[in-house]
Amino acid sequence: PASDPDLVERARAAKEKLGGNLFVLGHHYQRDEVIQFADVTGDSFKLAREAAARPEAPYIVFCGVHFMAESADILTAAHQQVILPDLAAGCSMADMAAIEQVEEAWEVLQDAGVADVTVPVSYMNSSADIKGFTGRHGGTICTSSNAKRALEWAFAKGEKVLFLPDQHLGRNTAVLQLGMSLDDCVVYDPHKPAGGLTADQLRAARMILWRGHCSVHGRFTLECVKDVRERIPDVTVLVHPECRHEVVTNADLVGSTEYIIKTVDAAPAGSAWAVGTELNLVKRLAKRHPDKTIVFLDRTVCFCSTMNRIDLPHLVWALESLVDGRVVNRIQVDEDTAHWARVALDQMLALPG
């Protein structure tokens, strides 16, 4: 549905009043009604880099989810305040790794005698606590656009990787980009004693994958891929690496949201694409390229419900509050966690390439 014109005008007017004091970041999965007000759009990696791009702006409004706003708070200057228009915009994947569970897993690795040779690599989609844990233990953060480089860096440093919290990104990167076998990977289940693994299994593994996944990308199945290939025989299947391993191995291309956008933008007129990522993004791509066939990989609707919580009424409320001199929904990470999380984030930003 089209955005409410009154709210559009109020958001525009508030942005104009705030001028250079405001910097709005928007993730590619945000609604159209919100993304139109972003000063910068991007995937998680680009937004982490861009967060620090306006050091003079005291207010940073993050249209994305909680862990992204936390990272922005960690990476920006102390005088800058990061605002998440709806505090309920979390991420079910990030919630699958609680710090207590991860600390316990590290003890399990210690008991098995492998913690000293294990490097934690944590996906951006994790809480600031998990990023802090990663920094404290000499690891790095990664995103879907630099997971390969992060793993190469980690394996140059240690023998094993503890990959948090997305098992699919970890497995897909290790197997499809680093040439490991599925047998090199084990899955640590935080709901089972000792992760459901024996000490021998931990000693033999190279990739210790946390049992987490994205509920949005996890919905695409091998049947979706087969079904779309039958319906559109010359289709190119393009998916995000958060999808299951069998989906990624049966797709034609795989990459982060930024990669997906660039690939479809550069494709010739008349080409056909089935895209396996969040629906707001796929719909925008289809609208932007009426000369190409762009379909959603699944037949059902599949928005990220927490990304969608940032809507125009919440954005207008956050912006108008700032105009009135009130900061609402500030996201602030405590100093010690922020210090160690910054160590891990800086390590990611320093990865070669």
Does 257 engage in binding with ligand 13P (CB under 6 A)? yes
214 binds ligand 13P (CB under 6 A): yes
Contact 83, 18 (CB under 8 A): no
Q: Which of 119, 214, 315, 341 binds ligand SF4 (CB under 6 A)?
A: 214
Binding-site residue positions: 27, 44, 91, 123-125, 144, 214, 240-242, 257, 304
215 binds, among ligand SF4, ligand 13P, none (CB under 5 to 8 A by kind): ligand SF4
Give the span between the Cα atoms of 220 and 251, in whole angstroms.
Answer: 11
Which one of 101, 126, 127, 143 is in contact with ligand 13P (CB under 6 A)? 143
d(CA 58, CA 21): 6
∠ Cα 239 242 248 (to 5°): 45
CA atoms within 13 A on the CB side of 59: 26
Quote the CA–CA distance of 80 and 82 in Å, as a whole number.
7
Contact between 278 and ligand SF4 by CB under 6 A: the answer reads yes
Tell me: does residue 41 bind ligand 13P (CB under 6 A): no
Interaction between residue 306 and ligand 13P (CB under 6 A): no
Residues of this chain, 83-102, that bind ligand 13P according to CB under 6 A: none
Should residue 125 be labelled a site residue for ligand 13P when binding is judged by CB under 6 A?
A: yes
Name residue 27's beta-bridge partners.
42
Residue 57 binding ligand SF4, by CB under 6 A: no
Q: Is 125 in the site for ligand SF4 (CB under 6 A)?
A: yes
Feature table: binding site for iminosuccinate = 27, 44, 123-125, 144, 240-242, 257
Q: State which H helix or E strand residue 109 sits in.
A: helix 99-111
- List the beta bridge partners of residue 121: 140, 163
* Residue 271 near residue 211, CB atoms below 8 Å: no
Binding window for ligand SF4 (CB under 6 A); candidates: 34-42, 48-56, 214-222, 281-289: 214-222
Q: At what angle do helices 66-75 and 335-349 cross, to 10 degrees?
A: 90
306 touching ligand SF4, by CB under 6 A:
yes
| Residue of 44, 101, 167, 347 interacting with ligand 13P (CB under 6 A) | 44
Task: Name the 3-class secondary structure at 238.
Answer: strand
Query: Least distance (Å) from ligand SF4 to the CB of residue 94?
Result: 6
CB atoms < 10 A from the CB of 252, how many? 13
SS3 content of the chain, % helix, strand, coil (to 5): 50, 15, 35
Q: Which one of 34, 91, 164, 318 is in contact with ligand SF4 (CB under 6 A)?
A: 91
Give the nearer residue to ligand SF4 in terms of CB position, either 101 or 306: 306
Minimum Å gap between C-beta 168 and ligand SF4 is 10
Residues that bind ligand 13P (CB under 6 A): 43-45, 125, 143-144, 214, 242, 256-257
